[in-house]
Structure 1
Amino acid sequence: MSEPDVYRSPQAVARAISDAAQAAARRSGRPVGQIVRQEDYRRFLARVFIHGDGEARWVLKGGNALLARVPEARTTRDVDLLGRVEDLDDAQRELELLVSEDLGDHFTFALSRTKDQGRGDAQPYLVGRRLVFDTRLGTKKRGPISVDLVVGTQPIGQIRSRKPQDILGLSKLPNAVYQLYPIEDHIADKVCAMLESHAGGMPSSREKDLVDLVIMALVDDGWAIEAGSLRQALRIESRRRKLDLPDRLVAPSSWGSGYASQVKQTAAQGFATVEAAMGLMRDFLDPVMAGVAAGRWDPRSRRWG
């Protein structure tokens, strides 16, 4: 008798995720709970993108966009979504409807609270909304999913379709092709967040952004980064934030321990210190910021050309 192509009960899903996560943890050294949590995010995002219409109405940003390409990227606590509509309320209603769909995986997501967000660290010129969804597998409550939702902005680079890297290999759980925020825009967001000063002239404390930049410089998955497009994204993002774009990237002198703790067990762990990471940035970003880079970035040779 053949195996059913779906899990018959929530308990069977929970057991399959737990077993696969333990195996993945042995391979990667990452905590089991962290891997299980990422599968909860995948269950949520499958609902957002399962009926993709080819128009990229929803675009995944932030850490989960990087994790979709690189399973060894830094884990994240939130889902960052761009709704390509003008009205935030309309986007929220549409998202609620999407994630309420039954995909046969025994997960449910229900909006529990919202909070309008003003200017934040990531992209301070945007106004968005934090949505928190209660998550259940059958009747058992799991950790809530927090979504940072923004609307109305147009990225500079090309939105790409990508099926997420699946380290658990659970073929009975439905997945979808994601629409991912352009890599040039993602890099520009991170660079400008590093450059910004905050209240009292305090420098950025977002050492995690440097981890992400190292990973984006190293990933070799056929998604080419064009020097001209990246330069344009940096110019536009810095203008939006009212920043003067320098001709090289400098990390705040206070950075060190935060970076070192967050780079562990990621694809960037070979660049274990801020000094090592900034050495890579001298090749990756400084030529673009100075306007002298041309062609495409080669993550193998770590050169433009």
Structure 2
Amino acid sequence: MGKTYATPTAFRTALNLAAKKMSKETGMNVSDLMRIFYFNRLAARVFTLDPDGWLIKGGQALLVRYRGAARLSGDIDLQAAQPGLAPEEARARVLEAAAHDLGDFLRFAPGKYTTSADPDRGGSQHFQVFLGPTRVDGVKVDIAVRRTLTGAPETTPLVSAVDLPWPVDWPVVRLYPLIDHIADKVCALYERHPQGTSSRYRDLADLLLISQREKINGAAACQAIHQEAEQRRQGGIDVTLPRSFEVPGPDWHDKYPSAAALVLGLQGCRTLPEAVQAAQTFLDPLLDSTVAGDWDPARAAWRHSDS
């Protein structure tokens, strides 16, 4: 039976102590763990009120998959599960969910909303986070609509970012398909914008973390990557996938290591040369469409199912 704290102050004290303990165990800083917890509780509201209506994508999906190992993301990415849902309706549903009271002393007060020029995105909704009467943080929800997925959504129980005996009402959440997540990150590496080449250093680190953790069907991942690239091109985005992994820009040698350092669960791959070697092994067969079999994370190799 979970413990209910008598007051918001008592709960905040317990949360802070739990975050400090988790910080010592994982290396994540206390403020990041507290923010992830607030993200978790907002997600709990969304999936308690509408269990089948959303998918968690982006960095928060990796935090759900790899607790204590993935990097902190600055926002929550939510993908509407209903095809054709209007951005205005998607936003209304997020606001309704955020207002749902779970009796956990937390309140998410809506702030500014910014629309996106991308028709697949509903926009960004900001919230002020209150624990009892005290403002403790701010969070942003990026809302996506009208996205075509290659893979099937995955379900997993949502687990608190810190070890607390309460709240205990963690729902099952739906995650953006892993192969679509890989496709998003690969394409982000090779998008070209007026300001220059990609600066998505963290996406390479995330891809390598995934490669160290997951068995991946090669044919499905390959299809997802090339389908995503074509979808972006049709939307007017300049993206050209190379036939083999290429470092996206000249500044990556200096800037990649700091991004990789934020991915606490990443084994090796902390310098760009290490990362390039691992990325070539993982991504080259996907980029040139020669992939066969499944990715074996233990062996860091593509293997036929009978080998």
Residue 113 of structure 1 pairs with residue 104 of structure 2: no
Cα separation, 2, equivalents of 1:164 and 1:275: 35
Amino acid corresponding to residue 213 of structure 1 in structure 2: L
Return the match for 1:268 from 258, 266, 269.
Answer: 266
8 Å contact from structure 1 (residues 70, 165) kept in 2: no
8 Å contact from structure 2 (residues 91, 122) kept in 1: no
Residue 230 of structure 1 pairs with residue 221 of structure 2: yes
Return the match for 1:304 from 258, 282, 302.
Answer: 302
Q: Which moved more, 1:257-266 or 1:147-156?
A: 257-266
Amino acid corresponding to residue 65 of structure 1 in structure 2: A
- Give runs of ≥4 in structure 1 deviating > 6 Å: none
Residue 153 of structure 1 pairs with residue 147 of structure 2: yes
CA apart distance, 1:159: 0.5
Amino acid corresponding to residue 183 of structure 1 in structure 2: L
- Secondary structure at 2:245's aligned position in 1? coil
Q: Deviations over 1:2-49 (max 9, x none)?
A: x86322221121111101111111112221111111111111111011
Q: Deviations over 1:152-194 (max 9, x none)?
A: 1121111100123545221311322211001111111111111
Structure 1 spans left out of the alignment, 5+ residues: 120-124
Equivalences for 1:237-276 in 2 at 5 Å? Answer: 237-242=228-233, 243-251=239-247, 252-264=249-261, 266-268=264-266, 270-276=268-274
- Secondary structure at 1:149's aligned position in 2? strand
Return the match for 2:7 from 1, 6, 9.
Answer: 9
CA apart distance, 1:215: 0.8
- Secondary structure at 2:127's aligned position in 1? strand
Cα separation, 2, equivalents of 1:176 and 1:249: 39
Amino acid corresponding to residue 80 of structure 2 in structure 1: G
Corresponding residue for residue 192 of structure 1: 187
Structure 2 spans left out of the alignment, 5+ residues: 234-238
Q: Deviations over 1:121-143 (max 9, x none)?
A: xxxx6333110011100000021
Corresponding residue for residue 76 of structure 1: 73
* Equivalent pairs, count: 292
Corresponding residue for residue 236 of structure 2: none
Cα separation, 1, equivalents of 2:155 and 2:165: 20
- Secondary structure at 1:117's aligned position in 2? coil
Corresponding residue for residue 122 of structure 1: none
Q: Deviations over 1:218-241 (max 9, x none)?
A: 114xxx321111111111111012
CA apart distance, 1:84: 2.5
Residue 96 of structure 1 pairs with residue 77 of structure 2: no
Residue 169 of structure 1 pairs with residue 168 of structure 2: no
Equivalences for 1:124-139 in 2 at 5 Å? Answer: 126-139=120-133
Q: Deviations over 1:199-230 (max 9, x none)?
A: 05x1101111111111111114xxx3211111
8 Å contact from structure 2 (residues 37, 161) kept in 1: no
8 Å contact from structure 2 (residues 90, 122) kept in 1: no
- Note the aligned Cα RMSD (angstroms): 1.7
- Secondary structure at 2:252's aligned position in 1? coil
TM-score, structure 2 as length reference? 0.90
Cα separation, 2, equivalents of 1:241 and 1:91: 22
Corresponding residue for residue 174 of structure 2: 179
Cα separation, 1, equivalents of 2:160 and 2:294: 28
Cα separation, 2, equivalents of 1:178 and 1:194: 28
Cα separation, 2, equivalents of 1:100 and 1:161: 24
8 Å contact from structure 1 (residues 83, 149) kept in 2: yes
- Secondary structure at 1:199's aligned position in 2? coil
Cα separation, 2, equivalents of 1:6 and 1:262: 38
Corresponding residue for residue 142 of structure 1: 136
- Secondary structure at 1:300's aligned position in 2? coil
